[in-house]
Amino acid sequence: MMNELIRIENLEKTYISTGEKLTVLKNLSMSVSRGEKCVIVGKSGSGKSTLLNIIGGLDSVTAGKVFVDGNDVSVMSEKELALYRQKFLGLIFQFHYLLKDFTALENIFLPAYMAGVPKKSALRRARTLLNDVGLSDRANHLPSALSGGERQRIAVARCLVNNPELILADEPTGNLDPSNAAVIGDLLFSMADKYNKTLILVTHDMNIASKASVQYYIQDGALVENL
C-alpha cells in the first residue's frame, strides 16, 4: 500500500505485576494512510493510550510489529527512538508540559533549536505557528499567565515546530471545559489539514471524534472500525 504511513500487525501488549498478567491489547492490527485523521475511542483502561505510546516508541510491544514509514518501531534502539520522536513525531498529551520559566514563544521555539535548526529559522517558524493558533499577542507570556486553553494551544503549536509527519494526541482536551475542548479539537484538525499531517487522536469526546475521517473503538483489546 503506497500511501500507507502506519501498519500494525498482530500487536499484543501484556503487563506483568506481582505475578499477575494483564493483556490490554491482543491481536490488534490496523493501517493508517498518509494525511489521514484517525480517532480512537474506548472505555478507560481499554488500551487507547497504550496503543498511542507504542506507536510513539514510548512503550514496548509484547508481540507483533509496528511499522511507521516502513520502519519497525518495535525493534528500534533507544538512540533511534529518540531521533524518531524528535524528527518524525509531534506529541500532545492531556497535560501541556510547557516549561514554566520560558515564554510561550520560547516553548514553541526550543524543540526546533534543540534539534539543530538555526536560531533565526526556528524563531521564524515558532512565530508563524504562534500566529496560526491565534496567540501572537501572548508571545512573551509565561505559562502561568495563560489560561488552560491557551496553554494547550501553545502545545499544539509546539508539536508542529519540527514539521513532523505524524501527530499523536492523547486526550488533548481531557483537562478542558467543553468550550475550550471544542476549540482545541477544531484547532488540531485544522492545523493537521493546513500542514498535511497524519493525525491519530485518542479521546472520550464524541464531538471531537466525529471530525475524524476514520474512527476506531477499542473493544477486548482489538479495534473495531466505524463507530
Return the SS3 of 143.
Answer: helix
216 in Cβ contact with 224 (< 8 Å): yes
119 in Cβ contact with 105 (< 8 Å): no
- DSSP string across 97-126: ---TTS-HHHHHHHHHHHTT--HHHHHHHH
- Cell 477499542 locates to 218
Residue 216 Cα to chain centre, angstroms: 16
72 in Cβ contact with 65 (< 8 Å): yes
Please, which residues have CB within 8 angstroms of residue 53's CB and are 6 or more apart in sequence?
59, 170
CA distance 146 to 154: 10
pLDDT digits (tens, 9 = 90+) for 172-201: 888 788 888 888 889 999 999 999 999 999
Q: What nine digits make up the cell of 15?
A: 503487563
With both helix axes pointing from N to C terminus, report the angle between 148-160 and 119-132 in degrees, rounded to the nearest 10. Answer: 130
pLDDT digits (tens, 9 = 90+) for 114-152: 888 999 999 999 999 999 999 999 999 999 999 989 999
- Does 158 have pLDDT greater than 90? yes
Beta pairing partners, 28: 11
pLDDT digits (tens, 9 = 90+) for 33-86: 999 999 998 877 778 889 999 999 888 899 999 999 988 998 898 899 988 888
- Cell 475511542 locates to 41
What is residue 222's predicted lDDT score, i.e. its pLDDT?
80
